[in-house]
């Protein structure tokens, strides 16, 4: 796994109001193809996607499905985007339908990780649904190598440590509130994917990437991790990848 991963949000839909890139057009088919191949050619070996990211899964399968052995593929279950509106379904039936659709779109028989794509009420998902058990079934069936949690609250993330192989946790120079959760995850031999490293595009790249790049394996706590960043432009990804490598 590369220390820098690609978040495939923007190749699937136009970013919402919370993103600095609001108003920028979604890449067309040719641009998406160029971007995905370019990301792999940069040496990035982790791609993060989700059904909620619109065309993202379909484009990944269409353009780099034939390079499947070159990257770790992470997708999610629980959140969907239907006609531009986010909806959640953590029922066993809904999650199974979701992952089967994802595998078809991604043109693969398995993914490397499935994460619960939790809403702000993430603790209720863990307590009131069979979502975790359903994920474990997917793992037993060979649909995924690992399972994990992409949550919101400290309490839910703490509880997810007990069963997760991988956790996607918000972490940046602007938001260090999850530092203790990350430390606990590493202590439990969990791989951590940092999300919102650039604070949804609102941080300057050098400062933001330097912060996570300096968390090297020499730091006992911050060992198994990958900083996931996204862009709709290949040249931007190339610049940030080069910067990150220099900062390491």
> What is the secondary structure of 190-209 as a DSSP string?
-EEEEE-TTTTTTS-HHHHH
Instruction: Band the pLDDT of 248: cuts 50, 70, 90.
Output: confident
Q: Residue 161 is part of which domain span?
A: 4-247
> What is the secondary structure of 85-98 as a DSSP string?
EEEE--SHHHHHHH
| Catalytic sites, residue numbers | 53
> 15 pLDDT exceeds 60?
no
Average pLDDT (27-50) is 96
Instruction: Give tens-digit pLDDT for 80-101.
Output: 877 767 789 999 999 999 999 9
What pLDDT does 84 receive? 67
SS3 107: coil
Rg of the chain over Cα atoms, rounded to whole angstroms, equals: 17
Q: Which one, of 151, 147, 68, 157, lies nearest residue 114 by Cα?
A: 147
pTM tops 0.85, yes or no: yes
* Proportion of the chain above pLDDT 70, given as a percent: 91
What pLDDT does 200 receive? 79
Number of domains in the chain: 1
Alpha helices by DSSP H, the chain: 29-41, 56-64, 92-106, 122-128, 131-140, 154-160, 179-187, 205-213, 234-247
| Residue 173, number of CB atoms within 10 A of its CB | 16
What pLDDT does 80 receive? 84
Give dist(CA 100, CA 120) in Å, integer: 25
Look at the chain and count its residues: 248
CATH of the domain at 141: 3.20.20.100
Largest Cα–Cα distance of the chain, in whole Å? Answer: 46
Query: Which residues partner with 5 through β-bridges?
Result: 228
Give dist(CA 185, CA 191) in Å, integer: 7
Q: What is the mean pLDDT of the chain?
A: 90
Instruction: Give tens-digit pLDDT for 131-159.
Output: 999 999 999 999 999 999 999 999 999 99
């Amino acid at each position: 796994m590369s220390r820098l991963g690609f978040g495939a949000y923007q190749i699937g839909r136009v970013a919402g109001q919370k993103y600095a890139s609001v108003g920028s057009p979604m890449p067309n088919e040719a641009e998406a193809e160029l971007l995905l191949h370019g990301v792999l050619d940069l040496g990035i070996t982790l791609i993060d996607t989700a059904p909620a990211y619109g065309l993202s899964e379909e484009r990944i399968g269409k353009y780099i499905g034939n390079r499947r052995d070159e990257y770790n593929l992470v997708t999610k279950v629980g959140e969907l985007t239907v006609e531009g509106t986010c909806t959640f379904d953590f029922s066993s039936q809904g999650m199974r339908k979701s992952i089967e659709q994802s595998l078809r779109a991604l043109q693969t028989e398995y993914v490397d990780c499935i994460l619960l794509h939790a809403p702000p009420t993430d603790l209720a998902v863990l307590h009131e649904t069979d979502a975790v058990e359903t994920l474990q079934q997917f793992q037993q069936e060979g649909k995924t190598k690992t399972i994990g949690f992409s949550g919101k609250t400290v309490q839910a993330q703490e509880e997810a440590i007990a069963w997760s192989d991988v956790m996607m946790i918000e972490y940046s120079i602007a938001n260090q509130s999850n530092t203790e959760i990350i430390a606990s995850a590493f202590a439990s031999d969990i791989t951590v994917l940092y999300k919102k490293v650039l604070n949804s595009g609102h941080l300057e790249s050098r400062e933001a990437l330097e912060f996570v790049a300096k968390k090297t394996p020499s730091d006992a706590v911050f060992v198994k991790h990958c900083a996931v960043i996204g862009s709709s432009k290949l040249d931007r990804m190339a610049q940030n990848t080069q910067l990150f490598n220099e900062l390491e």
